[in-house]
Amino acid sequence: MYVPEDRYVWDFWVVPHEGRYHLFHLQAPRELPDPELRHGMATVGHAVSEDLIRWKNLGTAVGPGQPGEWDDRAIWTGSVVKGDGLFYMFYTGTCRAEEGRIQRIGFATSRDLVHWDKYPGNPVLEADLTVYEKAEDSPFGELAWRDPYVIRWGDRYLALITARRNWGEPQRRGCIATAVSEDLLQWRVGAPLEVPGGFAQMEVPQLIFHRGRAYLLFSVEAGWVAEGVSPKATGTFYAIAPQPFDRYSPPTALLADPSGSFYAAKLVRTYRGDWVALAWLRTPAGDFVGGLSDPLPVRFTPSGVIEVG
């Protein structure tokens, strides 16, 4: 496990590059009186490993902007994609002037995954309020537009974003929004993915492809699962479709249980060609640990089911 002594670790993304795995993760000081205060102080930490078990801490990769900027409060979950010889880290930002209620997305670039420069034209991705819910209409008191997962898809880039529709039963408005771009600068926001079931929020999405199937991963708290949807558990779920914009299967639990021992799991393809799952940790009682799990083996059955462990 990767559990730094001086900082909490939670949502993360992994970038394999030149024989090593680069871990980017949200972090906040462990001396906080309440771990839940971490959200208002989050920065992006960086660590590297050759085996996904032993990690070397490289410090902070990206932090909040200067006072008055769009991201001067905290930096939240994102992802890294390569384009035009650069690495692009897309991330969520909030600002103090809005008390963190409005979430937006921008990016920073790097040539070496260590030194990052924020794009001066940030933010580049904001919610389309003709489709997605305003902060004042949300029971959470915020405009959900976070956790961008950006991949190359054909001749375009595709972004998946945690959001909420502006219509329907409040407990079922949680969705994964979409946006596409040809150059990573100009984005067109589209309709959310069609995933059966019902959730108040669907966090930290990931999209992978395996044997002709698209697998959508997302994480939820048990209290966000709508009535009539099973299981009522905290953790990571997945749904399957032939292609990213097709209708998905009903979600299945990947790593989920009543206490939410694991959260925000990601699937990682190792250099050996195997798949493993990583997640951040809680105790069996549901207490926040603030660390990263060791890799858990993953198997895809012929029918497409993902088995972990």
- Residue pair 166/172 in contact (Cβ under 8 Å)? The answer is no
- Residue pair 157/210 in contact (Cβ under 8 Å)? The answer is no
Which has the minimum average pLDDT: 29-43, 126-140, 154-168?
29-43
Instruction: Give the per-residue pLDDT at 276.
Output: 98
- Cα separation of 214 and 244, whole Å? 6
For residue 38, count other CB atoms closer than 10 A to its CB: 21
State mean pLDDT over 213-237.
Answer: 95
- Using CA atoms, how far residue 33 sits from 63, 99, 272, in Å, is 21, 20, 42
Closest CA to 25 of 15, 33, 17: 15
Closest CA to 126 of 147, 145, 142, 141: 145
141: exposed, middle or buried (Cβ count in 10 Å: 0-12, 13-18, 19+): exposed
- Using CA atoms, how far residue 281 sits from 20, 251, 256, 273, in Å, is 23, 22, 12, 25
State mean pLDDT over 141-158.
Answer: 97
State mean pLDDT over 31-45.
Answer: 92
- Cα separation of 248 and 68, whole Å? 41
Polymer length of the chain: 309
Say if residue 285's pLDDT is above 90: no
Instruction: Give the per-residue pLDDT at 46.
Output: 98
Which has the minimum average pLDDT: 57-71, 101-115, 163-177, 275-289?
275-289
Say if residue 287's pLDDT is above 90: no
The dihedral over CA atoms of 140, 164, 220, 271, expressed in degrees to the nearest 10, equals -130
Give phi and psi for 35, each to the nearest 5. -55, -25
Q: What is the pLDDT of residues 229-262, one digit of tens each?
A: 988 999 999 999 999 999 999 999 999 998 899 9
- Using CA atoms, how far residue 30 sits from 4, 40, 58, 137, 165, in Å, is 9, 13, 17, 34, 35
- Binned at pLDDT 50, 70 and 90, residue 33 comes out as confident
Instruction: Give the per-residue pLDDT at 11.
Output: 98
Cβ within 8 Å of residue 22, ≥6 positions away: 14, 15, 16, 46, 47, 48, 80, 113
State mean pLDDT over 135-145.
Answer: 98
Instruction: Give the per-residue pLDDT at 259.
Output: 85
State mean pLDDT over 75-85.
Answer: 96
Instruction: Give the per-residue pLDDT at 55.
Output: 98
CA 206 from chain centre, in angstroms, equals 7
For residue 300, count other CB atoms closer than 10 A to its CB: 15
Say if residue 160's pLDDT is above 80: yes
- Residue pair 156/173 in contact (Cβ under 8 Å)? The answer is no
Higher pLDDT: 222 or 284? It is 222
Q: Which two tokens stand for residue 99?
A: 């008390």
Q: Bridge-partner residues for 208, per DSSP?
A: 215
- Residue pair 241/249 in contact (Cβ under 8 Å)? The answer is yes
Amino acid code (one letter) for 68:
G
Instruction: Give the per-residue pLDDT at 194.
Output: 98
Q: Bridge-partner residues for 76, per DSSP?
A: 92
Q: What is the pLDDT of residues 41-70, one digit of tens each?
A: 999 999 999 999 999 999 999 999 999 999
Instruction: Give the per-residue pLDDT at 35.
Output: 85
Q: Name the percent of the chain lying above pLDDT 90.
A: 93
